A and B are shown apart, each in its own frame.
Chain A
């Protein structure tokens, strides 16, 4: 009992609903598809979801600190195309290309962060501009179609796995995902992580309290870029080289984060919930697929879900405030 009460507050506010949704979806999957009768089905789901979950964790850092990162989708495309061109099928190149890719991710994040904080351009515009620049630059460099090929040792991260007793073959992407998730959780529980959330909630307060707002915001963009590079390595291995590999991923990642109950504009939400949101999205798509809903309707369903999730979150909190008023309510009152 006491263990429960000490453990419970650690589940950050807003995490519970998305976990309920996720469990419901997983049960639905188990009922709908025989593939989900044993752990390997769920491992396959996790493997598919890993890139989006990693992207969502990166996007979470930016969103919780009060910004947007619209450039991650085109960054993923850019990274995969760069990798294919530089590796060009040679296994020996893998060793130096992967650190280079991570470096490019960090660099793009750094540029995003510096422009946002030093030139005072809203992150929406900065990352939108970066999206255009990256998209254009990639195609300019490749002349319209990606060239080269990824090496087998590069693709191992997205495709291969490691044998674990009981579970069977655990994909590398799941291992990487777990490492990222645990690191992110520990980071957010630390001082820097907490201050990052505070920046999203009230920048001026953090500044007055002596926090380095600019550094924290830049850090959020750098982490987002780094994780986008990581997601690109997994996606490249999983799906191969194409110019469409990252298309729309930025909106999907934002959807996932919002689905996890993270407030756009910053200051509220947990990193676990953001990752759970991404997994829910992927589980939902798998479920729709099993139920025979056409792929075209996928996006329509995604649209309905994010509206419903956000509406639930804001109406839910409105209702809470009305029942237990704590401070003067500035939300629009019903007329």
Chain B
């Protein structure tokens, strides 16, 4: 009953925007394509090549961490929530993994599992604060982020722990130009796509994000759904932390915040066509958003653009992209 109700509007909705023009997902990939072409030309004019093996590797490596975080962020944003705690959580998980391993190969699996367990616990706290204490998601996850930050600042001054050499294969090995970690990220993205689009609880996330009262009245356990989304998001951030530990060889408390993964991941999801209010968006679009951001970075690096100029462009791209969607939605409504 509930599935049928949730499914029907989704299926009926799909053809409608196509009639007007492209869906956001298609737009993102067209933009990505345009960016690759323009980027290649610009880099070519400077005497370099954007899409050689090194360039592809660069783009994919940059995409892996942001991709993992953004996949998780997609789930909470689709549910109509938000997670600002992922950046500190990434640092925390990299430390938990590296300190548990402490250089010994036998502790690799316990280290990863413990890091993911810690992540899941933080996600659970996020979800429960939002659903049980009824705190606004923005404040709840900001509060949890501040608590994590206090813990990290109080206990760590720099990198700690170390991962065994074998574990670093995860961070550095590749097949051709494609890093193994990127393949794992794509696998996780596929799993997340399947989960959101093909399972009952995945549909519930869209339903809750679309209209929480309607979802509740149709029998969706809204609280459970929100908590689940936050746990999954945190676990994805935990995976990003584990991957970073493998690349850095140790845990680093501020590896997540230095890269601004909290706001950056939200930006990627929104670039991918998700609505911040919830109910719209998806993993495929998010990956497009992630690829755009990392391609921009790589192009700027190849052009030796001032790193601070990157931020300026990133901000403008973000605003313009969202403005484009908003216009489209408006014209779709009036048409």
Contact = CB atoms under 8 A, between A and B. Distances in A.
Contact of A296 (B129, B154, B267): B154
Majority DSSP secondary structure for residues of A touching B: helix
Contacts of B140: 307, 310
B66 to A, nearest CB: 15
Given A296-B153, A318-B134, A307 B323 contact: no
Interface stretch (A21-29, A49-57, A125-133, A229-237): A125-133
Contacts of A4: none
B314 interface: yes
Contacts of A303: 142-150
Interface residues of A, number: 51
Nearest to B138: A264
A304 interface: yes
B150 A264 contact: no
Interface in A119-143: 119-122, 124-126, 128-140
A250 to B, nearest CB: 11
Q: Residue among B150, B216, B223 with the most chain A CB within 10 A? A: B150
B327 A311 contact: no
A275 interface: no
Contacts, number: 154
Contacts of B134: 311, 314-315, 318, 331-332
A268 to B, nearest CB: 12
Given A119-B323, A120-B326, A314-B135, A332 B223 contact: yes
Contact of A133 (B143, B223, B316, B330): B316
A125 B309 contact: no
B276 interface: yes
Given A124-B276, A125-B270, A331-B134, A299 B129 contact: no
A120 B154 contact: no
27 contacts: A119-B327, A121-B326, A125-B267, A126-B319, A129-B316, A129-B318, A133-B316, A136-B310, A136-B312, A136-B313, A138-B308, A140-B308, A297-B150, A297-B153, A300-B154, A302-B143, A306-B139, A306-B146, A307-B140, A310-B133, A310-B143, A311-B135, A315-B133, A315-B134, A332-B134, A332-B222, A335-B221
Interface of B: 129, 131, 133-136, 138-140, 142-151, 153-154, 213, 216, 221-223, 263, 266-267, 270, 276-277, 306, 308-316, 318-319, 322-323, 326-327, 329-330
